[in-house]
């Protein structure tokens, strides 16, 4: 079993360790310890630019997907009809499509619509694949709660809007957070979609890393990846903190 | 974990016969599904449809409706080979994932006890790291002078370094590494639902540990294997980053070909056609998965 987990963690551990290597050609075990590859990441403009684009895109598409998917997820979570089954399958469908096909299709479609290769196109495409994640977690959380809280609120005199805003929304917050986190991470790491929209201003980090790897094979990629991993872990910790606090104050 | 699930709910909403309450608290109006449904129709269905159109009616001066691309794809030996390689690779990776994943799932469900949370975290955590990072790590490990080769040389198992990166083995290992967590979680979720007392009863009635497993547990967990397999199969079909970075071009699958068509030859019609083929396979897998879920009778 340990072997199994060693297998799972091995390449990641190796990549992290190699990022500190003094040799320019990545090898394991490493011959020395240096931070020079991290400097290189900072100096190599495309890395930093694309990191910014990736972060903006990930957060933006997750936010947009939340806005769009949440109403639908909430409506579907408590519904049992055949039609809602069909619709919910439809909402989850983008998860299962091979993304390279989606990327190609998006490129030409959005170009025909006039969006071209722009941040907006990236945003639109990434939102499409983020919607299933948000829908799934929000619906899951909402379905798990009973209607008791909302009924209590309406008994106490709240109208529909107030019930929704002051009762429903806060209760599904964990679902929103979890879904957004997944969506952000998926978008951040996405290559098949982002590849088709690459340009100097719209390259995302994975795209830049890929083209870097095609010409050079040095530890800078390892350094960038390690930074990315640390960012993801940091985000996880932050969400855990925030959610943890919320959970304690939620009326459960 | 990433299996297709219906998100319809099972809670009974208590409606009030009283006319004073004009809305059913706890149940939201169905027209609320319009935003996501509409968005997906415009930005998901339409592009795919457009893609399909392009493969049978490519833009250009001499444009006409024809299935030429599909004919080419399905009759040319090279393309058939690519399709075959894709399917073969997917089947192979799935099989290995089953072999590796089942024991891990069994361990997770039956023996991990308080470590269960950690185990699940370790399975999911790699998904948080960039696929490029993981593939990079494998590249370093499999290099001629990499850890794997030096270990094998030191152990005396080989005389000279294996060109692992130039062949399909690195691709297979890389893919298994990425997808085995999905398999483990699929199987584990089904295993968890199997009552341990069934196994115990078999043992009490005289079966050996192995017999109890083979005749009781394994058949009951087949659904988990099935769902996991379809999932891994679908994911391997569509994967392309791993194939680009490992294997040095020895394995050409459909996504790789699409990538090449797009970046090198710009034959978009062909790329679209190939994409549609891939899509058709994905839809087929989705259908199988739905049948499996319906059969289980579980809505979760």
> How many angstroms separate the CA atoms of B102 and B75, rounded?
39
How many Å lie between the alpha carbon of A25 and the closest alpha carbon of chain B?
Answer: 9
Give the pLDDT of residue B12: 37
Nearest to B33 among A10, A76, A189 (CB): A76
Q: Is the pLDDT of residue B296 over 50?
A: yes
Alpha carbons B133 and B151: distance in angstroms, whole number = 22
C-alpha span between B69 and A245 (Å, rounded) = 57
| pLDDT at residue B77, as a whole number | 83
The pTM of this model reads: 0.81
Rounded Cα distance between A202 and A117, Å, is 8
**Residue B44: its chain A contacts at CB < 8 A?**
93-94, 102, 128
Chain B residue with minimal CA distance to A207?
A: B132
Q: In this predicted structure, what is the pLDDT of residue A25?
A: 66
pLDDT at B249: 74
Question: Does B100 touch chain A if contact means CB atoms closer than 8 Å?
Answer: yes
The CA distance from A30 to A16, in Å, is 11
Over residues A126-131, mean pLDDT: 91
Specify the 3-state DSSP secondary structure of B71. Answer: helix
**Separation between Cα atoms, residue A111 and residue A106, nearest integer Å:** 8
pLDDT: is B287 or B154 the higher one? B287
pLDDT attached to residue B98: 92
Contact indicator for B233, B91 with CB cutoff of 8 Å:
yes
Q: What is the mean pLDDT of residues B82-101?
A: 90
Task: Report the distance separating Cα B124 and Cα B10, nearest Å.
Answer: 28
Report which of A212, A227, A203, A235 is spatially closest to residue A49, judged by C-alpha positions: A203
Angle between helices B218-238 and B77-106 (to 10 degrees): 140
| Partner-chain contact A14 B147, CB within 8 Å | yes
* B282·A77 Cβ contact <8 A: no
Lowest pLDDT segment from A110-114, B56-60, B143-147, B176-180: B56-60
Share above pLDDT 70 across residues of chain A, in percent, rounded to a whole number: 90
The rounded percent of chain A whose pLDDT value lies above 90 is 7
pLDDT reported for residue B95: 93
Tell me what ipTM this predicted complex has. Answer: 0.79
State yes or no: pLDDT of B215 exceeds 90: no
Nearest to B259 among A78, A100, A124 (CB): A100
Residue (of A161, A141, A144) closest to A153 by Cα position: A161
Report how far residue A232's alpha carbon sits from residue B130's, in angstroms, rounded to the nearest whole number: 10
CA atoms within 13 A on the CB side of A114: 0
DSSP of A142-173: HHHS-THHHHHHHHTT--HHHHIIIIIHHHTH
Residue B299: per-residue pLDDT: 40
Q: Give the residue ranges of DSSP H helices in chain B.
A: 34-40, 46-56, 68-75, 77-106, 116-128, 131-142, 147-154, 168-192, 196-204, 209-212, 218-238, 241-245, 254-260, 268-296
Identify which of B99, B109, B134, B95 has the alpha carbon closest to the alpha carbon of residue A8: B134
Asked if residue B59 has pLDDT above 70, the reply is: no
- Which residue in chain A is spatially nearest to B37 when comparing CA positions? A91
CA distance A244 to chain B (A): 17
Using pLDDT thresholds of 50, 70 and 90, give the confidence band for residue B58. Answer: low
Instruction: Provide the token pair at A117.
Output: 């290769």
- Partner-chain residue, chosen from B130, B255, B290, that has the shortest CB–CB distance to A98: B255
Rounded-to-integer distance, Cα A35 and Cα B248, Å: 30
Q: Cβ separation of A128 and B44 shorter than 8 Å?
A: yes
Mark yes or no for CB contact B135/A68 under 8 Å: no
pLDDT of res. A32: 67
More confident residue, B185 or B55: B185
Question: What is the CATH number that goes with domain B68-296?
Answer: 1.10.3720.10
- Chain A residues inside the 8 Å CB shell of B126: 8-9, 12
- Interchain contact B185–A (C-beta under 8 A): no
* Closest CB to A153 among B25, B39, B238: B25
CB–CB contact A27 B140 (8 Å): yes
Top pLDDT among A151 and A62 is at A62
Cβ atoms of residues B188 and B165 within 8 Å: no
- The answer on pLDDT for A155 being more than 90 is no
Residue range B21-40: mean pLDDT, rounded: 76
DSSP calls for A169-193: HHHTHHHHHHHHHHHHHHHHH--HH
Which residue in B has a C-alpha nearest to residue A14's C-alpha?
B137
pLDDT grade for B23, boundaries at 50, 70 and 90: low
- Please tell me which residue, B22 or B159, carries the higher pLDDT value: B159
Q: Which of A12-21, A200-209, B31-40, B247-256 has the lowest mean pLDDT?
A: A12-21
* Residue A127 pLDDT: 92
Domain spans of chain B, in order of start: 68-296
| Range with the poorest average pLDDT among A49-53, A79-83, B43-47, B85-89 | A79-83
Q: Provide the pLDDT for residue A22.
A: 60
Q: Are B234 and A125 a contacting pair at CB < 8 A?
A: no
Is there a contact between A14 and B140 if contact means CB atoms under 8 Å apart? yes
Q: Where are the domains of chain A?
A: 45-249
B residues 28-47 closer than 8 Å to A (CB): 28-37, 39-40, 43-44, 46-47
Q: A–B: how many Cβ contacts below 8 A? A: 294
Cβ distance B9 to A139 less than 8 Å, yes or no, reads yes
Q: pLDDT averaged over chain B?
A: 78
**Cα-Cα-Cα-Cα dihedral sign, residues B172, B178, B180, B183:** negative
Contact A192 B107 (CB under 8 A): no
pLDDT grade for B9, boundaries at 50, 70 and 90: very low
Nearest chain B alpha carbon to A205: B130
What's the pLDDT band for B22 if we cut at 50, 70, 90? low
The answer regarding whether domain A45-249 maps to CATH 1.10.3720.10 reads yes
List of chain A residues whose C-beta atoms are within 8 Å of the C-beta of residue B133? 11-12, 15, 221-222, 225-226, 228-229
User: To probe the interface with B, which of A18, A105, A181 has the most B CB atoms within 10 Å?
Assistant: A105
pLDDT confidence of residue A223? 82
Rounded Cα–Cα distance for residues B52 and B59 (Å): 12
CB contact under 8 A, A95 and B2: yes
> Quick one: pLDDT band at residue A248, thresholds 50, 70, 90?
very low
Chain A residues touching residue B139 (CB < 8 angstroms): 26, 217
Q: What is the pLDDT of residues B104-160, one digit of tens each?
A: 888 888 777 777 777 887 887 788 788 888 888 888 888 777 777 777 777 777 777
| Nearest-5° Cα angle at B151, B145 to B156 | 110
Asked if A4's CB is within 8 angstroms of B100's CB, the reply is yes
Q: Is B26 exposed, middle or buried (0-12, 13-18, 19+ CB in 10 A)?
A: buried
The per-residue pLDDT for range A38-80, each reduced to its tens digit, is 777 777 778 888 888 899 999 999 999 999 988 888 888 877 7
% of chain B residues with pLDDT over 70: 86
Least reliable range by pLDDT among A14-23, A65-74, A97-106: A14-23
Q: Confidence class of residue B17 from pLDDT cuts 50, 70 and 90? A: very low
Position B26 pLDDT exceeds 80: no
CA B28, distance to chain mean position in Å, is 33
Distant-in-sequence, close-in-space partners of B15: CB < 8 Å, separation ≥ 6: B24
A168-221 pLDDT, tens digit each: 888 888 888 888 888 888 888 888 888 888 887 888 888 888 888 877 777 788
How high is the mean pLDDT of chain A?
Answer: 80
Tell me the CA distances in angstroms from A23 to A19, A36, A37, A41, B137, one per residue in order: 10, 10, 10, 16, 16
């Amino acid at each position: 079993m340990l072997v199994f987990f060693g297998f799972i963690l091995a390449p990641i551990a190796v990549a992290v360790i190699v990022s500190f290597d003094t040799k320019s050609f990545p090898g394991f075990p490493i011959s020395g310890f240096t931070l020079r590859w991290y400097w290189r990441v900072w100096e190599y403009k495309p890395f930093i630019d694309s990191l910014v684009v990736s972060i903006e895109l990930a957060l933006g598409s997750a936010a947009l997907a939340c806005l769009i998917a949440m109403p639908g997820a909430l409506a579907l979570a408590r519904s049992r009809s055949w039609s809602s089954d069909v619709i919910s399958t439809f909402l989850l469908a983008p998860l299962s499509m091979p993304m390279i096909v989606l990327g190609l299709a998006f490129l030409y479609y959005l170009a025909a619509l006039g969006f071209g290769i722009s941040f907006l196109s990236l945003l639109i495409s990434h939102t499409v694949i983020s919607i299933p994640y948000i829908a799934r977690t929000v619906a899951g959380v909402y379905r798990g709660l009973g209607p008791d809280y909302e009924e209590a609120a309406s008994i106490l005199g709240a109208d529909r809007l107030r019930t929704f805003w002051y009762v429903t929304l806060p209760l599904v917050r964990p679902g929103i957070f979890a879904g957004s986190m997944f969506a952000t991470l998926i978008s951040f790491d996405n290559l098949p979609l982002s590849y088709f929209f690459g340009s100097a201003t719209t390259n995302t980090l994975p795209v830049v890393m890929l083209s870097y790897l095609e010409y050079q094979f040095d530890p800078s990629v390892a350094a960038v990846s390690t930074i990315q991993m640390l960012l993801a872990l940091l985000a996880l910790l932050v969400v855990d903190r925030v959610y943890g606090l919320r959970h304690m104050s939620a009326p459960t | 974990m990433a299996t297709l699930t219906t998100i319809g709910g099972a809670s009974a909403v208590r409606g009030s016969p009283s006319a004073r309450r004009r809305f059913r608290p706890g149940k939201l109006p169905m027209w609320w599904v319009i935003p996501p449904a509409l968005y997906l129709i415009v930005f998901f269905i339409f592009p795919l449809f457009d893609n399909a159109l392009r493969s049978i009616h490519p833009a250009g001066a001499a444009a006409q409706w024809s299935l030429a691309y599909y004919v080419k794809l399905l009759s040319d030996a090279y393309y058939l080979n690519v399709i075959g390689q894709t399917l073969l690779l997917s089947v192979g990776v799935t099989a290995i994932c089953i072999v590796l994943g089942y024991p891990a799932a069994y361990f997770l469900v039956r023996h991990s006890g308080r470590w269960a949370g950690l185990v699940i975290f370790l399975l999911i955590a790699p998904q948080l790291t960039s696929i490029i990072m993981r593939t990079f790590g494998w590249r370093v490990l499999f290099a001629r002078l990499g850890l794997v080769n030096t270990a094998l040389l030191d152990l005396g198992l080989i005389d000279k370094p294996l060109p692992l990166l130039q062949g399909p083995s690195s691709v297979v290992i890389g893919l298994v590494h990425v997808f085995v967590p999905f398999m483990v979680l699929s199987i584990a979720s089904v295993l968890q639902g199997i009552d341990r007392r069934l196994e115990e009863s078999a043992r009490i009635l005289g079966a050996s540990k192995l017999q109890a497993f083979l005749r009781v547990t394994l058949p009951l967990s087949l659904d988990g294997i099935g769902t996991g397999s379809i999932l891994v199969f679908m994911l391997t079909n569509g994967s392309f980053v791993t194939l680009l970075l490992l294997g040095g071009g020895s394995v050409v699958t459909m996504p790789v070909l699409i990538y090449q068509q797009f970046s090198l030859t710009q034959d978009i019609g062909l790329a679209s056609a190939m994409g549609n083929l891939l899509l058709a396979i994905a839809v087929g897998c989705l259908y199988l998965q739905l049948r499996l879920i319906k059969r289980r009778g579980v809505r979760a």
